[in-house]
Structures are given as C-alpha cells and as structure tokens.
Chain A
Amino acid sequence: MVTINIDGKNYQVEPKNNLLQTVLSLGLDLPYFCWHPAMGSVGSCRQCAVKKYADENDQKGRIVMACMEPVVDGMRISLNDPEVKKFRENIIELLMTNHPHDCPVCDEGGECHLQDMTLMSGHNYRRFEFNKRTHNNQYLGPFINHEMNRCIACYRCVRFYREYAGGRDFNVFASRNRVFFGRYEDGVLESEFSGNLVEICPTGVFTDKTYKKHYTRKWDLTTAPSICHNCSLGCNIIAGERYGAIRRIASRYNGKVNGYFICDRGRFGYEYVNSDQRIKEPLRRGQASGQLEPVDVSTAFEFVKNIVSKKGKILGIGSPKASVESNFALQKFVGKENFFAGVSGPEHRLTLKAMDIMQNGPSNVPSLKETEKADVVLVLGEDVTNTAPMLALSLRQASRVKPMELPIKMNIPTWHELAAMELIQDERGPFFVLTPSETKLDDVATATYRNAPDNIARMGFAIAHEIDHNAPAVEDLTEEEKKLAKQIADELVAAKKPLIVSGTSLLNEKILEAAANIGRAIDKKEKIANLFFVLPEANSFGLAMLEDKALDQALQAAENNKYDAVVILENDLYRRLPASEADRLLNSAGKVVALHYLQNQTTEKADLVIPVGPFTESDGTLINNEGRAQRFFQVFYPQETIKESWRWLAGFMEDNGLVGEDELVNLDDLINAVVSDYPAISAIKEAAPGSQFRINGQKIPRASHRFSGRTSINAMCRSANQNHRKMQILPCPLPWKATMDRCRRPPCRVSGTLAGIRYRLLISFKLKLAADCMAVIPAYVCLNRAWKMNLIILKKCRPCSKHKKTTGWPFRSICFTAATNSAVLRPALKN
C-alpha cells in the first residue's frame, strides 16, 4: 500500500495499477476512452488528463495522462485543477468536432460512453463551425452495423479485434482525421468475438444489427441477469426484452468467468426465443385427427392425471440444457429409478468421467478467468474455438503470459499495453495444440500436432510419461512425436502455472485419462497443474450430478419394463440418438409427454406437448464445466400458458398429491428441495440471493439508474391473474424489480457531482463500472472451490463510496458491499 494525495486528500492504494484505474477504483470520476481494464493503456485519447505535481512545493504542476502514469508513493495529483479541467473539456470538444448529433436516432443512445463523458467533462457549447468529415460505411455481416461517422478514433475496436482476440480481417486504415476502422473491403467479420465491438466501442460506430432489426430504445428494455446456455462455460449475460420478444443479449461482467466479453454465439444466438416454431400452448394429439391440437391447461393436467392416477409407471428423460431445478422436478415426479439423463450413453459417461477427475483426481480446476494466467498451455484434443469459444479468447491471453515476463523484468508495468507489446512483439508463450484438425488457436501455438483422437491420447500419455517415468509409457512413437512429447513435458514442468485443456467433444475417454495423467505427473513434481475440461452443454455438469444413467439405459429400461408414459424435458431425442433408437424408445414407452419451447422431431411424436419457457422465460440454476453454479433469472412473463418446466412439473406433482399443497411454489422451494435431496450440490442455494433479498427494504432494480426516465413502463410485475389456480405466480417472486420507477433512492448509487452539472452520473455501463446493481450482484457460486455467500445488508449501500478503498476492481467491490463471498471448499462435491 502506498499513499497518494488527490486534491489535498490522502488515499491508501495498491501501486499495481495505473493512476486512472486507481482513481476510478477510489470512486472518483475521471473521463476516459481508450483505456480499457482488459486491454490496458495506450494513451491515445488524452481524455484522462490530471495535474501532477513534482513535490509539496510545486504549485504549477504539469498535465499528465492518468492512464499512462504509474502510481508511486507520495505522488500528489489534482483532478479538479482548473487548467486540467479545461484541458479535458477541450479534448471532448475536439472529439465532438466530427461526431454527428444523431443521438436521438442512434442505437447507442442511452448507453453511450461518449454521451456520459461529454456530460462529465462539461462541454456543452459547440464552437466548431466547419463541415464534419464523413466516411462510407461497410457491410460487416448480419450481426454488426457500421456507422463510421460517429467514430472518435479511440482505437479500442482495432486493439480488441486484432490484439486481444487475434482477428486478422479488421484494421485501422488511412491517417490524420480520416482514420477508418473496418475491413479492407465489405464482408462478414470473421472473428467469433466480433460482437464485443458493440460494447467495446464507446459510441455508436459498431452496433448490434440483430437489436437494430427489432429496435427499441435501451431504456425501454426489461432486463434480467442471465447465463448463456450455448456452451458449458456459462458466461454471464444480460438479456433484454420488450413487448414479449427478446431484443438483445449483452455481456455481464463476471470476474471469475467471462470478464467483460462474450462470444458471438452467446450474443447473437437468441433468436429462437422469438421464433415462429415456439410452442405457446399445450398441444394434445387429437383422437380423431391424429394431429396435435391446442388444448387448454386443465386438459393437459387431466392428461397427466389420467396416467398417474392409474398408478402408471412414467419414464423421465432429463436434459443437459435444462436447469438443475427442472431436471430435479422431473426426477422427483417420475422417481429416481425411472429418471435418465437425456444424453447419449458415451457422452454422459465421458461427462461423469471428467467430473470424477475434477472431483477426485489430481490438480486444480481453474475458473475460466484463471486460465488466462497460465504460462504454459496444452490443448489436448479440443477445438475450443468451436466447443467453448470464450475459452479460446482466454487461452489467447494466456499465450502472452510468458512473454510478459520480459516487460516486467524491464520495469514496464503490464498495464502499459503499448510498451509491453512493442517489447514482446510477436513472441508467444509455450502453447501446444494437439487436435485432429486445424484450429483457430494455431496462430499462437508453439507447436501443433494433428492426428486421430486415439493418437492424441497416446501423445498425452507419452507427455505424462516424460514428466513422471512411473506413468505408463507409450510404445511405437515416431522420433518426431517423442521429441514433441519431450518438449511439451519440459515446458509443463518448467511452468509456474501449467494448464491442460481437454474435453469431451471427441468422445474419447482416453484423452481425458491422458489429461488426468499429465496433471497427476505434474502434481508429483511438487507443482500444481491446472486441468480445465470442456463439457458438452450448459448444464451437463448439473445433470450428471443428479443422474448417472443415460439414454442407452433408458432405451433398455423402456423395452424391458412396461412404462405407461415417458416425459421428455426440453430435449429432442433425435439429436441424441440414432433415429431408429429414438423411434424404439418413443414407441416402447407408452404415451409421450414432451416439455419444450420449440417444435422438434420429438414433440412431433408426442401425445402431449407442454409449452415451457426457454432461459428468458424461466428461472433456474446451471452448473458450468468447472462446477460453478450460476442462476439465470426470468426476463419477462410470457403468455400465461407458458411456464418454467419445473413449475409445470411441480404443478403435476401437486395435482396428483405427490407433494403437499404449496410445497413447491417458487424457485426458492425447488432449490430447498434439491438441497435436501442432494447435499452435494447444496451450494446452488448460494448461487444468488433468494426471492426475499432486499437492500434498504427495496428490491434491486433491474434497469440501471440512468434508465430511470423510461418512456413507458411495461408492467412487469402483474397481479396474479392466472388461468390456472395451481400456478399462481406470486407477484414478482424474485429479488429484482422491473424498473427504476418508484425507486425512492437507488439502492446502489454511484454519485458524481461533475463539472458543476447537477446530473448524477454513472461512470459507464460499458465497463459495468457500477452501472447496474443487477450486473454486479454476483449471481454465481462455485461448487468446485465452493463459495459461500454472506449477505451483508448495509443501511446505506454506497458501493463505490470512498470508504471502500481499493480492494481490487471497482466492479468487484461494488455490490460486494451487499453480497460478499468467502471461499468454502471443493470436497463438498465428494460424497
């Protein structure tokens, strides 16, 4: 800790960051553009100027850029010196000379960093009287809209796209005030992370085209903290809805998982929620027509009652895409012995194997964010860009860890991006990719190895043997293979934080074993290896925690036992099994009841189809590939026939007297039931605050403070006027409230009396710097090295208050005032 003096006041701070970040962490306001916490400082926008004084007696001081200044003990600076304030105002004025005044029609409006900074810097009168420079826009594909005239040339986009994400088809062209950011010609952006341009851009140059297609103003969106369902990593997202349709997905900062970014699949892969193929009411196969016909909810309940009341045996098939609660509800409904994971046998057994290695095996299981810190990376058999895209982004950062030792040695701080990158040039750390075919990470790889899955496993065993000669040896390796195995082994042993990435995508158990062997071998060298496994789907881990049996056993059971019905939860068997086997299963299990949100081959065969909500219309918990339980929340309430799967199933149980009345009414009840049946995953309870959570007696507004002036209100918390008495929704059984309306005082406020302006500003939505309480309440808990949430509710929650000091990132510290995590343990899983 060192002491710095800002405008006559002393602060204790950690000297590890640059001055700008330190100042922001203290809760003080300082405008900036080009700096980004994930991408460091480059000093191009000149916006974060502060006055720096040489010593106590220096009255004049000199202007420096805070982002380029290291924090040193005893430094004296001023943010409010008139000269430097004037300078910052002048810089904004210069940035605005060419910026169009199209905020009323700009997609960025309402969330615009430039708007905020302009207001903060106090520039409000235009002196520039000349023509603005204009650019031609490019077609950048179906996802990203390009509007170059709005560009303020902060260089964030090109730095993210090329340097951070490794894209090649995007660049900065031309010079002077005609710099152009785009592709060399029109065309679809090739990077899997191009969507982040939308958030990285401080203004509206890059905007979300899918959002534009069904446009609404940002402040009219109803949003909820959610979890991406598109792969096993569980990136944190914010889903935004208006008039019953999802309008956009944005990233939600989580310092343990995805950080600031998400991949394009997560950001743009939401349109199925708005699809024509949605199932919106119960469908029953008509006896006369043989076709699926809409029926009312009570008919659906009767249908189920008919089966249950005849003491019928029901087969339940879960889903790795559905929440823990929904799977649990089905399991409880049909009985444990009749419940099967809705995954092919080999895949499920691989998942169990990976989990077994994580829980009982060697080595540490890092979080996604921790993988960025690995100095040697071995990718064993997994094309991560396809199976877990954000992991590819993290590994790309890891490839810079080892070369970054050089700048550190030369006293160049790691946040000094420009200097560090010039020093390390194209140097990339030890990075090995062993996959059957080319991957997009090959460009940072030290060496690649292309072979069939079994041979990749053999290489894995060979590496383990090289590290620890007690590990089984591999015969018949070629000289080259031996050399490579030796090279990889040497690097792994020499590493400070070796990381082995593997996964289930090749359906090869030996690869997982090989990865475990390498981990075990490294552990013997008195080092801790990091093992990171990619699993097949969003809740593969959660489903496997509930159930060992998979579809091959389900088929067997269906054919051996006489089942009266099969209930299939959010699944399409035709994508899990060969069509012939799926047919056999459906034909041998009596009546088919399918709970799903989209029509598919399975629902077509069903006798009863139950309309359920996808992730945007239901609450639940997912457990990601590293065993981290994360809660996603309902974004909006759809038409009354659509309910969460677990709510339908709880309704069936109550209707048939399987559970007591009002025993399973809301998510809290479900979670309590899961916890009592499965103590091993009791931590899911701590994944997020329960429905009774309040700060200052208030629910947490889901809109950010700046959205307090909504043009109209979508009455989110409707009164309980439901068709079916069994399924009354308590008004808003969540810790969230829909808007800022009637929010007397925002529970989490970032104050800023800025430049004499009365506005209370939020620093930046973009960086989740305290913008949304919603964004920062950690809706996650790690089962793996489990977290226990300790909710401390302060009388006056001023998260960015000066008393917070710099306990690290502002973003992390913000609402941790309200919800603090402390570590528990990993053995909780071992039962």
Chain B
Amino acid sequence: MERPLTERIRPGETNWLADYQKAGGYEGLKAALKMTPREVQEVVKQSNLRGRGGAGFPTGLKWSFVPLGDDAPRPKYLIANGDEMEPGTFKDRLLLEGDPHQLIEGMIISAYAIQAEVGYIFLRWAYKKAEHVINKALAEAYQAGLLGKNILGSGFNFDLYLHTSAGRYICGEETALINSLEGKRANPRAKPPFPQTSGLFGKPSIVNNIETLCNVPHILHHGPDWYHSISHSVDGGTKIFGVSGKVKNPGLWELPLGVTLREVLEEKAGGMREGLKFKGLLPGGASTDFLTEQHLDIKLDYKGVEQAGSRLGTGTMIVLDDQTCVVGMVHNLEQFFAQESCGWCTPCRDGLPWTRNILWTIENGQGKMEDLEILEGMTKTLAPGNTFCALAPGAMEPLQSALKYFREDFERHIKEKRCPWRS
C-alpha cells in the first residue's frame, strides 16, 4: 500500500531539503514547470483531488475560477490553511513537522497553476515546533533557488511567508482567515464573491488545506492515473485518518480513500480498550454528525460518509464509548463552539451559548423535557444557510445526531435529575 504523504516521515524527526530531495522531492515541481498553468490545473482536476480541510471541494475546480492571463488582477495569492483547530484533528501537524518541503513544493506548484506571486502559510499559533521547522525549511528553499525570483530557471516568481495565527478556531474558515491575514477581525466574509476572485487584499486568492497541498507534488510527479490507482474510491489518493478516544491504539494512518470505517477502527486503532464498548464516533472532527455501530462498514470517502448522514470532514475521528456521557461530550463541544464564535451573526453568537447552557443544565440534572425542544429548534435555526458561515451549522451536527441516536441518554438525565454516568 502506497503512502505518498507520510512514507518518509519518521516520528520526531524532520526531513530537511537534502533528505526530501533524495527521496524524490521537487520532481513534481520540475514536471509542473514544464507545463502551462492550465495544464497543471488539468492534471489536478483529472486526479480528482478533493479538499482535505473538511468541505471536500475539488481542488482543480477551485483553482480554475482564478482569473489567468495578463489582464488578471495582481498580485494573486496562495494561502495554505494550517490553522488546524478542529477538536480531535492533528493530521496537518504531522505533515508540517515531519516533511515541510512536501508542503512547500505543493505550494510552489499550486501557485504556478494559478500564477500567484505571493504565498502565505497560515499556521495555528500553538504549533510552535512546526513554526520553527517551516521557517528553517523556507530558508533552505530560498537558498536552493526553489523560492523567490525565477524558480529553477523557469521565469516563475513566488515568495512564500509564514504567518502564525493569534489562535481562533474561526480562522480555519477561509474568508475569516483572509480577514485575519489582512490584520482585521477574523469575521468570515460574504460569499459570493469567492476568494478566487476577491480574496486577500481584494485580489484573487486560493486557500487550500495543508494536506491538500501536500498531495499536489505526488500527483504531478506520478500522474493522475497513479493517483487514482492508490485509492479504493472514485475520489483520488490517500487520506490521513486519525482516531482519538478510548481505543487501544490512537493515532494517525495514511490510508487509501474508501477503506471501511471498521478497518480503521478495529485494525488500525486496535478496537476499544478493555471493558469498554463502542457507542459512536464523530468521523471528521467535532463539527460532523455522529456515526454509530450500524455505520461501521461504510466506505470512508466523501460520498460514503455523506450517505451515512455525516461528513468525512478532516478524517480524524473522535470515538465515544459506553462509559462516557454523551451529554457531557456534546456540552464540551458546544462550549468550544460557543467560545469560538466570532460574534458576527445572531444565530451563532447568541444561539450557541444558549445551547451550551441548556446542555450544562441537563448534564447537571436540572434539565426539563422542554429543553430538548429548544435544542431541536436550535438545530433548525442554526442550519446551513441560516447563519453567516458554516461554524454554527457545524456545531449543530454533533448535537442533532446525538439527539437522534442517543435521545434516551438525554431523557435519562432529565428524568433521573442527574448524570447517570457520574457516581
């Protein structure tokens, strides 16, 4: 099984430029620079690479909206979204710390494909090691003529900078990230217009997830057909899956898209710890719907998870066992989302704290049956399209699915006037 993204990574070590090049690094860039930007976009389109940040938008298609040619507004920007703050998600950290040049190469190729002059790596503030690693790798790349003016003699110029965030979850939303990068409040922007036409400083911009960008060099190096061949799904390539929670062997694994949930959970993560039973999981981070026992055999690709009523999201799962209180867990998640709302739109700003408060009272045995109605109403009020961005609808996903699958647990709290999981 091929693991293009992670096969070079050794835990605790970093591949610097020499190691990376020895393992075939920057070959994809050389291939790309021989093509026209449109051809590069076409190759990525054919590979059917989809965004790994959560939404799963086809990357090649996203790029194609950027105006090309001489009369396009300048400068154009490419931004790597490394603001990995989704609870339960830690996949980009591995890529950033272990193999920074993979990202840099991916960014140069992507920038070439959209003819961007300037790039930013927007990094989560807590990733101190990654910050150090990227800074060093950027210096190496500049030294080697891989960044800056006239890259590898191709005439293409690209400057890449690292920006460490001030630490807000909402900065993971691409337009809020752009505002933050401009030095403004990290409020999301209205879409349309999309960043592809009016992004950073009002210029055409592309925001891609770290993992997405790391796929690009391999697609260019080995071609789209190879990329399809390493997947078990119509979606091309591999995906880094992660499992956290009370399993025997929590961690990250790069696996072909389309492996089954059971395979990841039982073979890779080793199943539940002794004495615990599997109850459910959030398949792609905190802002996805719960999946339960009945869904264990679904294929982990974008379509498969969607059909099961959830989203592939970031592909990093949080496992819930039968000894953990689901109300407490959802309360904890809503606490996070209420905390991270930017405060721009009403449903999110005022709806999430209320949701959190109700969950807190239920968890502490003071809930009422009417509270469940309010919670259900909230999942409708904060549905996609009703709020300004996807934060609040994302926050509603674990809640609405918990109410669907684990309603009894909520009712037990209310009837027993205490949390049954607490002694």
A423 CB-CB contact with B under 8 Å: yes
Q: How far is the CA of A416 from the CA of B344 in the complex (A)?
A: 16
Residues of B within 8 A of A416 (CB): 190
Q: Is the CB of A44 within 8 A of B344?
A: yes
Given A90-B377, A176-B338, A425-B201, residue A130 in contact with residue B354 (CB < 8 A): yes
> Closest Cβ of chain B: how far from A301's Cβ, in Å?
65
A42 CB-CB contact with B under 8 Å: yes
Q: How far is the CA of A43 from the CA of B338 in the complex (A)?
A: 20
Q: Is the CB of A174 within 8 A of B345?
A: no
Q: Is the CB of A49 within 8 A of B353?
A: no
B374 CB-CB contact with A under 8 Å: yes
Q: Is the CB of B202 within 8 A of A94?
A: no
Q: Is the CB of A419 within 8 A of B189?
A: yes
Question: From residue 357 to 396 of chain B, which have CB atoms closer than 8 A to chain A?
Answer: 357, 370, 374, 377, 380-381, 385-388
Given A410-B193, A422-B198, A425-B201, residue A64 in contact with residue B385 (CB < 8 A): yes
B347 CB-CB contact with A under 8 Å: yes
Q: How far is the CA of A152 from the CA of B385 in the complex (A)?
A: 21
Residues of A within 8 A of B185 (CB): 172, 175
Chain B 188-210 near chain A by CB (<8 Å), digits 1 or 0: 01101100011001100000000
For chain B, give the interface size range: 35 or more
Residues of B within 8 A of A68 (CB): 190
Q: How far is the CA of A101 from the CA of B25 in the complex (A)?
A: 65
Q: Which residue of the partner chain A has the closest CB to B340?
A: A176
Q: Which residue of the partner chain B has the closest CB to A89?
A: B381
Given A172-B185, A175-B342, residue A97 in contact with residue B350 (CB < 8 A): yes
Q: Is the CB of B193 within 8 A of A423?
A: yes
A153 CB-CB contact with B under 8 Å: yes
Q: Is the CB of B346 within 8 A of A44?
A: yes
Q: How far is the CA of A178 from the CA of B340 in the complex (A)?
A: 11
A624 CB-CB contact with B under 8 Å: no
Q: Is the CB of A177 within 8 A of B168?
A: no
Residues of A within 8 A of B198 (CB): 410, 412, 419, 422-423
Q: Is the CB of B343 within 8 A of A42?
A: no
B87 CB-CB contact with A under 8 Å: no
Question: From residue 165 to 184 of chain A, which have CB atoms closer than 8 A to chain B?
Answer: 172, 174-179
Residues of A within 8 A of B345 (CB): 43-46
> Closest Cβ of chain A: how far from B340's Cβ, in Å?
7
Q: Is the CB of A95 within 8 A of B385?
A: no
Q: Is the CB of B193 within 8 A of A43?
A: no
Given A153-B346, A155-B344, A423-B202, residue A62 in contact with residue B385 (CB < 8 A): yes
Q: How far is the CA of A422 from the CA of B197 in the complex (A)?
A: 11
A98 CB-CB contact with B under 8 Å: yes
B349 CB-CB contact with A under 8 Å: yes
Question: From residue 97 to 120 of chain A, which have CB atoms closer than 8 A to chain B?
Answer: 97-98
Q: Which residue of the partner chain B has the closest CB to A416?
A: B190
B341 CB-CB contact with A under 8 Å: yes
Q: Is the CB of B193 within 8 A of A94?
A: no
> Closest Cβ of chain B: how far from A726's Cβ, in Å?
62
Q: Which residue of the partner chain A has the closest CB to B185?
A: A172
Q: How far is the CA of A39 from the CA of B347 in the complex (A)?
A: 22
Question: From residue 13 to 71 of chain A, which have CB atoms closer than 8 A to chain B?
Answer: 42-47, 49, 62-64, 68
Q: Is the CB of B381 within 8 A of A90?
A: yes
Q: Is the CB of B388 within 8 A of A176?
A: no
> Size of chain A's interface in residues, with CB distance under 8 A?
41
A809 CB-CB contact with B under 8 Å: no
B339 CB-CB contact with A under 8 Å: yes
Residues of B within 8 A of A49 (CB): 386
Q: Which residue of the partner chain A has the closest CB to B192?
A: A419
A139 CB-CB contact with B under 8 Å: no
B351 CB-CB contact with A under 8 Å: yes
- Residue in contact with B350 in the complex, picked from A95, A172, A425, CB distance below 8 Å: A95
Q: Which residue of the partner chain B has the closest CB to A41?
A: B190
Q: Is the CB of B190 within 8 A of A46?
A: no
> Closest Cβ of chain B: how far from A421's Cβ, in Å?
9
Q: Which residue of the partner chain A has the closest CB to B191?
A: A419
Residues of B within 8 A of A94 (CB): 346-347, 350-351, 354, 381
Q: Is the CB of A128 within 8 A of B354?
A: yes
Chain B 174-189 near chain A by CB (<8 Å), digits 1 or 0: 0000000000010001
Q: How far is the CA of A62 from the CA of B387 in the complex (A)?
A: 13
Residues of B within 8 A of A64 (CB): 385
Q: Is the CB of A46 within 8 A of B386?
A: yes
> Closest Cβ of chain B: how far from A386's Cβ, in Å?
31
Q: Is the CB of A178 within 8 A of B343?
A: yes
Residues of B within 8 A of A95 (CB): 346, 350
Residues of B within 8 A of A675 (CB): none
A418 CB-CB contact with B under 8 Å: yes
Q: How far is the CA of A90 from the CA of B340 in the complex (A)?
A: 22
Q: Is the CB of B347 within 8 A of A422?
A: no
> Closest Cβ of chain B: how far from A34's Cβ, in Å?
9
Q: How far is the CA of A172 from the CA of B349 in the complex (A)?
A: 14
Q: How far is the CA of A152 from the CA of B345 in the complex (A)?
A: 10
> Closest Cβ of chain A: how far from B148's Cβ, in Å?
26
> Closest Cβ of chain A: how far from B413's Cβ, in Å?
17
A87 CB-CB contact with B under 8 Å: yes
Q: Which residue of the partner chain A has the closest CB to B339?
A: A176
> Closest Cβ of chain A: how far from B395's Cβ, in Å?
12
Residues of A within 8 A of B341 (CB): 175-177
> Closest Cβ of chain A: how far from B388's Cβ, in Å?
6
Q: Which residue of the partner chain B has the closest CB to A33?
A: B346
Q: Is the CB of A422 within 8 A of B388?
A: no
Residues of B within 8 A of A128 (CB): 354
Given A63-B385, A410-B197, A419-B192, residue A91 in contact with residue B343 (CB < 8 A): no
A824 CB-CB contact with B under 8 Å: no
Residues of B within 8 A of A410 (CB): 193, 197-198
Q: Which residue of the partner chain B has the closest CB to A64?
A: B385
Q: How far is the CA of A45 from the CA of B388 in the complex (A)?
A: 9
Q: Is the CB of A176 within 8 A of B343?
A: yes
- Residue in contact with A97 in the complex, picked from B168, B189, B342, B354, CB distance below 8 Å: B354
Chain A 176-210 near chain B by CB (<8 Å), digits 1 or 0: 11110000000000000000000000000000000
Q: How far is the CA of A87 from the CA of B202 in the complex (A)?
A: 33
Q: How far is the CA of A174 from the CA of B339 in the complex (A)?
A: 11
A-B pairs with the 6 shortest C-beta distances? A179-B343, A94-B350, A176-B341, A90-B381, A423-B202, A423-B198
Interface of B toward A, CB cutoff 8 Å? 168, 185, 189-190, 192-193, 197-198, 201-202, 338-347, 349-354, 357, 370, 374, 377, 380-381, 385-388
Interface of A toward B, CB cutoff 8 Å? 42-47, 49, 62-64, 68, 87, 90-91, 94-95, 97-98, 127-128, 130, 133, 152-153, 155, 172, 174-179, 410, 412, 416, 418-419, 422-425
23 contacts between A and B (CB under 8 A): A43-B345, A43-B388, A44-B344, A45-B345, A46-B386, A47-B346, A62-B385, A64-B385, A94-B347, A95-B346, A130-B354, A175-B168, A175-B343, A176-B339, A176-B341, A176-B352, A176-B353, A410-B197, A410-B198, A418-B189, A419-B192, A424-B202, A425-B201
